């Protein structure tokens, strides 16, 4: 089974880059399942039901999110209704939505996707490590093919999660920093890992935002309404090849396509 995992999709430029790249990659590389992080599709802040449907229509089977999950109030109900739109599983009990889902490929193989969020420099929620152990055990009763989206800021927390789940899950892929890392690898016990898949969105920007606005924010510390940048885009993803029956990663390929 081949799973294409797309990093944080940023606004309209990000959605367009997905629309262009996904069909081509699916065809060329025999992709079975596509997942992507949609926490920034709505103008950089959150996701709406319409935009989620648009991404599903482009071929995404599962959309993960993160700290921006709740930016659009109109999505709150939708999180409860749409099991393939995930929010971090380590949000406390009572928070709407689901943190994991099991989907099936066209070939009938099952893939579990689990979303976690780190806590270093991030919202203070339940422990992602405790949640991971519990949720992975539960999901593995349904399938051994488990991909974890670890949405976090600190490289240390993401790498710790990779090693913590090494041998237990198929892959741990990081999101949130909007910059692709070059450390894709198969960890010692067999789990595929990358610290951050990177953003899919405008290239000449500050993590997707118009650079002038971001710079001004750092210079003045005053609140600034951020806007998604324009210009050429970058599409960032990893392709995870795995044995779905054993849940074992075979390879992780890093993908970075400029317009």
Q: Which residues are annotated as a binding site for Fe cation?
A: 8, 39-40, 67, 151, 176, 178
| 163, HSE (Cβ side, Cα atoms, 13 Å) | 5
Stretch that binds a second copy, among 6-14, 31-39, 53-61, 157-165 (CB under 8 A): 157-165
Interacting residues with a second copy between 169 and 198 (CB under 8 A): 177-183, 187-188, 195-196, 198
Separation CA 222–CA 184 (nearest Å): 37
Burial class (CB in 10 A: 0-12, 13-18, 19+), 232: exposed
Give yes or no for residue 253 binding a second copy (CB under 8 A). Answer: no
40 contact, one of a second copy, Fe ion, none, CB 5-8 Å limit per kind: Fe ion
Give yes or no for residue 254 binding a second copy (CB under 8 A). Answer: yes
What is the smallest separation between the CB atom of 190 and Fe ion, expressed in angstroms? 28
Kindly report the backbone phi and psi dihedral angles of residue 25, in degrees, each rounded to the nearest multiple of 5, phi listed first: -65, -40
Q: Tell me the C-alpha to C-alpha distance, in Å, between residue 130 and each of 90, 117, 134, 147, 189.
A: 9, 12, 7, 17, 20
Residues in the chain: 259
Burial class (CB in 10 A: 0-12, 13-18, 19+), 81: exposed
Separation CA 80–CA 78 (nearest Å): 5
| Interacting residue with a second copy among 56, 98, 155, 243 (CB under 8 A) | 155
Kindly report the backbone phi and psi dihedral angles of residue 235, in degrees, each rounded to the nearest multiple of 5, phi listed first: -110, 120
Give yes or no for residue 40 binding a second copy (CB under 8 A). Answer: no
What is the smallest separation between the CB atom of 8 and a second copy, expressed in angstroms? 11
**Among candidates 24, 143, 232, 46, which has minimal Cα distance to 4?**
24
222 contact, one of a second copy, Fe ion, none, CB 5-8 Å limit per kind: a second copy
Q: How many residues bind a second copy (CB under 8 A)?
A: 55
Given the residues 68, 72, 110, 210, select the one marked as catalytic: 68
Minimum CB distance to Fe ion smaller for 8 or for 157: 8
**Is 163 among the residues known to form the active site?**
no
Residues at the site binding a second copy, with contacts judged by CB under 8 A: 70-71, 91-95, 119-121, 123-127, 129-130, 153-157, 159-160, 163-164, 177-183, 187-188, 195-196, 198, 204-207, 209, 211, 214-215, 217-223, 254, 256
Which residues are known catalytic residues? 68
């Amino acid at each position: 089974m081949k799973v294409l995992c797309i990093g944080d999709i940023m606004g309209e430029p990000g959605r367009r880059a997905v629309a262009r790249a996904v069909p081509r990659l699916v065809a060329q590389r025999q992709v079975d399942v596509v997942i992507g992080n949609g926490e920034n599709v709505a103008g950089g802040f959150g996701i709406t039901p319409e935009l989620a449907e648009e991404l599903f229509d482009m071929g995404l089977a599962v959309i993960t999110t993160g700290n921006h999950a709740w930016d659009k109030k109109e999505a709150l109900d939708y999180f409860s209704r749409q099991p393939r739109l995930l929010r971090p599983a380590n949000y406390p009990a009572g928070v709407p939505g689901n943190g994991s889902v099991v989907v099936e490929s066209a070939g009938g193989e099952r893939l579990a996707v689990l979303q976690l969020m780190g806590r270093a420099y991030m919202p203070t929620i339940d422990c992602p490590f405790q949640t991971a152990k519990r949720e992975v055990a539960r999901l593995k009763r349904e399938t051994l093919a488990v991909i974890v989206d670890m949405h976090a800021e600190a490289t240390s927390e993401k790498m710790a999660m990779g090693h913590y789940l090494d041998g237990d899950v198929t892959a741990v892929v990081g999101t949130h920093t909007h910059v692709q890392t070059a450390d894709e690898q198969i960890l010692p016990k067999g789990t595929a890992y990358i610290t951050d898949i990177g953003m899919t969105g405008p290239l000449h920007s500050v993590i997707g935002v118009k650079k002038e606005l971001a710079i001004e924010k750092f210079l003045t510390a005053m609140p600034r309404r951020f806007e998604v940048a324009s210009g050429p885009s970058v599409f960032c993803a990893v392709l995870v090849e795995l044995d779905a029956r054993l849940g074992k990663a075979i390879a992780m390929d890093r993908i970075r396509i400029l317009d």
